Amino acid sequence: MPTFTGTHAHTGALPAACAIVMACLLLPRGPTYGQASATTVTWRAHPGGAHGFDAAALADAVDRARALAPPLTGLIVARGSTTVAEAYFNGRGPNQAANLKSASKSVLSALAGIALADGVLDGVSQPIGPFFPTLLADAPRKRRITVDHLLTQQTGLESTSFGNYGAWVSSRNWVANALRRPMVDRPGGEMIYSTGTTHILGAVLAEASGQSLRAFAQERLFDPLGVRIRSWQQSPAGRYFGGNNLALTPRGMLRFGQMYLNRGRFGGQQVVPANWIDLSWRTYVRSTYRDHQYGYLWFTHTFGGARVAFAWGYGGQYIFVVPRLDLVVVYTSSLRTRPSGGNDHNEQLLRLLAEHIIPAAEGPPGSIAWPSVPRPVFGW
């Protein structure tokens, strides 16, 4: 496949967009990666404008991404199973792990779907009481919280995130601390974003499967994807975090998104049930963030005229899936570097997707809309 790999100094602009992409079509060598002090941009291009993309617009999108580094450290753009652009900044590379932060919650959603298909869980209406008989012995209302409530963040429990986060992770038992929080709403009421809620779900999956959450995730989700979990934080009680601090490589994140794009299939194997993809991307509640919708631990929104499902983690960790355009986009960002000028990094990343990457994926001006036979939009 024709490729072009360019390594550029950390200051200055990329070469002219058209020149870069035309070079892609001429140089038949495989990708290599630059030194740690350089910005590395790898292009995989195809005749007809980078696999249906507007080639100049795609190059411009990568140039704009580079202007967001730091804190942006990585960008991958793929159409279906084909990577059309891959860029790393500030010494990062494809084999370095990225902390997904709360994008880990969407991974947990996949694990719940697998557990339901395996019969490890009875159904989303299954109450959590039997998993924590001692902790919830005197809490009949909390015993009636269901798996569905955990997946949609509608438990009614006080949040362990934001101002409560430090005290929660400083506690000896994160599950107990989260379950002992006061009820501030009824189960099934308003969305209350809480990482403690997804930690409870992770504990449910571990108890139901008889495995640690990490072992279950590696065997049933990531082994079929050919992806290795790099790390996953554990609580003082030894439970894996669940909805936070899972580390994968950017390419591992991409494979996860591609599996969702392909309705749960990867490499000829049905990894996650197709109907679970449909259920996960429905709207159950209105998110407290920027008017996004929320499904089963996935955000959904319309960007650039296209409906997008996305996993979102603190600091700018994203996996975007755009079914209509057969598109998956991955961002990774440094957790140590703040954007200059006080700009909102997340807002800039969403604008990059909506105003540059998605328009580039629509194809050159005057081209036939991509794809000619659209993928189903999974119930949207």
Are 237 and 175 in contact, with CB atoms under 8 Å apart? yes
Q: Beta partners for 309?
A: 300, 321
pLDDT beyond 80 at 276 = yes
* pTM of the predicted structure, to 2 decimals: 0.87
Residue 287 is predicted with a pLDDT of 79
Q: Which of 41-50, 281-290, 328-337, 348-357 has the highest mean pLDDT?
A: 348-357
Mean pLDDT computed over 300-316: 96
Residue 52 phi, psi (nearest 5): 90, -5
pLDDT tens, position by position, 114-125: 999 999 999 999
Rounded to an integer, the average pLDDT of 353-375 is: 78
Confidence of residue 365 (pLDDT cuts 50, 70, 90): confident
At residue 97, the pLDDT reads 96
Q: What percent of the chain has pLDDT over 90?
A: 76
Read off the amino acid at residue 299.
F
> What confidence tier does 1 reach under pLDDT thresholds 50, 70, 90?
very low
**What is the residue type of 289?**
Y
Residue 169 scores a pLDDT above 90:
yes
Domains of the chain by start residue, with CATH: 1-93+331-380 (no CATH), 101-312 (3.40.710.10)
Give the chain's end-to-end CA distance (angstroms, integer): 35
CA distance 158 to 27: 57
Is the confidence at residue 37, as pLDDT, over 90? no
> 11 pLDDT exceeds 70?
no
Question: What are the strands, taking DSSP E only, across 149-303?
Answer: 231-232, 246-248, 265-266, 269-270, 285-286, 293-294, 299-303
State the Cα–Cα distance between residues 234 and 212, nearest whole angstrom: 11
pLDDT at position 379 over 90: no
The whole-number pLDDT of residue 14 equals 36
Per the prediction, the chain carries an average pLDDT of 86
**pLDDT above 50: residue 282:** yes
Distance CA 358, CA 337 (A): 27
pLDDT in the model for residue 164: 95
Q: What pLDDT, on a 0 to 100 scale, did the predictor assign at position 147?
A: 98
**pLDDT at residue 90, rounded to an integer:** 86
C-alpha distance from residue 100 to each of 84, 179, 200 (Å): 22, 24, 19
**376 has a pLDDT exceeding 60:** no
What is the Cα gyration radius of the chain? 21
